[in-house]
Structure 1
Amino acid sequence: MLNVLTHGDPSHPKLLIAHGLYGSARNWGVIAKRLSDQYFVVCPDMRNHGASPWHDTHNYFDLADDLAELLDQPTFVVGHSMGGKAAMVLALKYPHLINKLVVADIAPVTYTHSQTQHIDAMRAVDLSGVERRSQAGESLDPEVRDFLLQSLDVKEKRWTLNLDVLEAEMPKIVGFPDLDGAFEGPTLFLSGADSDYVTRDYRTVIKDLFPASRFAKLPGAGHWLHAQKPREFEAALRAFLT
């Protein structure tokens, strides 16, 4: 069972938020707390991340099954990047568990880029003498430094990421599995206007799998749209979910 952080009253409608690669439930704390006025927000650490169990596999069927274990009724589901792909597979495999689906800045396609350079950078950090997160960030990519450092346990001198498995499974993470059928429920593909993760060329395959999908972009935001434009992201979620 995944480690989860919850916010709000359990009697409210449930909202599940699935984070992206190298992320954690903590990344969503501010938005989750603000949304907890209307929803019971459940933020899991995905497998091989945070305080959740480590496994030898990291594919979207497994990630979707992990999320399904947290749901016992139709639920609002939001997923960003890797979490968005997991949420899409969840909706395609278990449509009865989804009320509405929001996919943040990702498409159900295979991308050509890899994210292993961040694994190399994290491995290269000598954690033995690190007393503060800022010390470990000197050699990390400035664009994602603060984000990656949230997965550093300074006290234990370790990353809370299963770097070996994430590296081995990277082709599956940047890919997307072949699935039959479609999710007919309301779906919003919410993207950063400055991001190239969801292009018009992908809309055909999106519509095949999610025929009721709608599209929106947040001006001034890139791939990390929820961190770059948190209030606008929150407003878009509220408008769609209600």
Structure 2
Amino acid sequence: MLYYQELGSKGKEIVIIHGLFGSSDNWLTIGRALADEYKVYLIDQRNHGKSFHSSEWTYEAMAKDLHEFIEAKNLQNPTLLGHSMGGKTAMYYACNYFPSKIEKLIVADIAPKSYPLHHQHILEGLQAIDLQKLTSRKEAEEILSLYVKEDSTKAFLLKNLYREGEKWAWRINLAVIAEQIANVGEGLHTNLTFDEPTLFVRGEKSHYILDEDFELIRYYFPKAIIETIAEAGHWLHAEKPQAFLEVVKNFLKS
């Protein structure tokens, strides 16, 4: 089963699903803020965080993992909240796995469309770090800086680097992610729809959900409402946590 962190002990259940190169740790701030009123589960998707590594890495497989987690924990009508890749996993699950068992769906800054490859420089930077010769985290940062300029992005990526005894290792399954990165950009290919309350939240400065995507969103999710977080980019929950929480809480209580 997937690795998870559990927060809160009362209220309705929310499962939060991180994005590419992320983990459950990235959502602890949001999870703790929601845990006063809800029982929150933060999961690590396969090939990420502390969950298992696998050569199979598709949305079908990740949705199956999510289904098995919900069944194993006997969650009753949970709300799913997914960001980026995690949002695609949540969408796939909502449309394909017994939608009546999900009370609500929240998708953060991703649309059900296909996206072109755009993580090549990140993968090249991570692969340039030779773990067998690496002497320090600072050295890893210096190598990654040749490929990734934003300090916040570098810090986020290097959270995946850890010591395993005397050796360095990646929490992500870097080899499989690099080989199958095209899978992450795939659109939601199904004839099924999700007819329960759905919230899409996008960052004003992000280009992941465009105005022209609204029609496709409402094709798959007829009850979708779409909110925009001012001055936020793709990492809207980290950049504008209070604004993000306000939108999410209002939706949860509606």
Tell me the residue number matched to 1:142.
149
For the residue of structure 2 that corresponds to 1:157, the secondary structure is strand
Q: 1:81 aligns with which of 79, 84, 94?
A: 84
Post-superposition offset of 1:129: 3.5
Q: 1:96 aligns with which of 91, 100, 103?
A: 100
- Letter of the structure 2 residue corresponding to residue 121 of structure 1: G
For the residue of structure 1 that corresponds to 2:155, the secondary structure is helix
Tell me the residue number matched to 2:243.
232
For the residue of structure 2 that corresponds to 1:154, the secondary structure is strand
Post-superposition offset of 1:134: 3.9
Contact 1:218–1:225 (Cα < 8 Å) also in 2: yes
TM-score, normalised to structure 2's length?
0.90
Post-superposition offset of 1:3: 0.4
Deviates more, 1:207-216 or 1:69-78: 69-78
Tell me the residue number matched to 2:4.
4
Post-superposition offset of 1:16: 0.5
Tell me the residue number matched to 2:170.
159
Cα distance in structure 1, aligned partners of 2:168 and 2:80: 34
- Letter of the structure 1 residue corresponding to residue 85 of structure 2: M
For the residue of structure 2 that corresponds to 1:138, the secondary structure is helix
Post-superposition offset of 1:159: 1.0
Q: 2:123 aligns with which of 119, 133, 137?
A: 119
Tell me the residue number matched to 1:185.
196
Cα distance in structure 1, aligned partners of 2:113 and 2:223: 18
Contact 1:60–1:177 (Cα < 8 Å) also in 2: no
Q: 1:135 to 1:29 in 2, by over 3 A?
A: farther
- Letter of the structure 2 residue corresponding to residue 43 of structure 1: L
Aligned alpha-carbon RMSD (Å): 1.4
Unaligned runs of 5+ in 1: none
Post-superposition offset of 1:113: 3.0
For the residue of structure 2 that corresponds to 1:27, the secondary structure is helix
Cα distance in structure 2, aligned partners of 1:104 and 1:79: 6
Contact 1:114–1:170 (Cα < 8 Å) also in 2: no
Cα distance in structure 1, aligned partners of 2:82 and 2:48: 15
For the residue of structure 1 that corresponds to 2:143, the secondary structure is coil
For the residue of structure 1 that corresponds to 2:202, the secondary structure is strand
Q: Percent identity?
A: 37
For the residue of structure 1 that corresponds to 2:103, the secondary structure is strand
Cα distance in structure 2, aligned partners of 1:234 and 1:134: 34
Tell me the residue number matched to 2:210.
199
Contact 1:130–1:154 (Cα < 8 Å) also in 2: no
How many corresponding residue pairs? 240
Q: 2:135 aligns with which of 130, 137, 140?
A: 130
Post-superposition offset of 1:158: 0.9
Deviates more, 1:162-171 or 1:80-89: 162-171
The 5 Å alignment of 1:19-98 reads 19-71=18-70, 72=74, 73-94=76-97, 95-98=99-102
Post-superposition offset of 1:177: 3.9
Unaligned runs of 5+ in 2: none
- Letter of the structure 1 residue corresponding to residue 154 of structure 2: R
Contact 1:60–1:176 (Cα < 8 Å) also in 2: no
Post-superposition offset of 1:12: 2.2
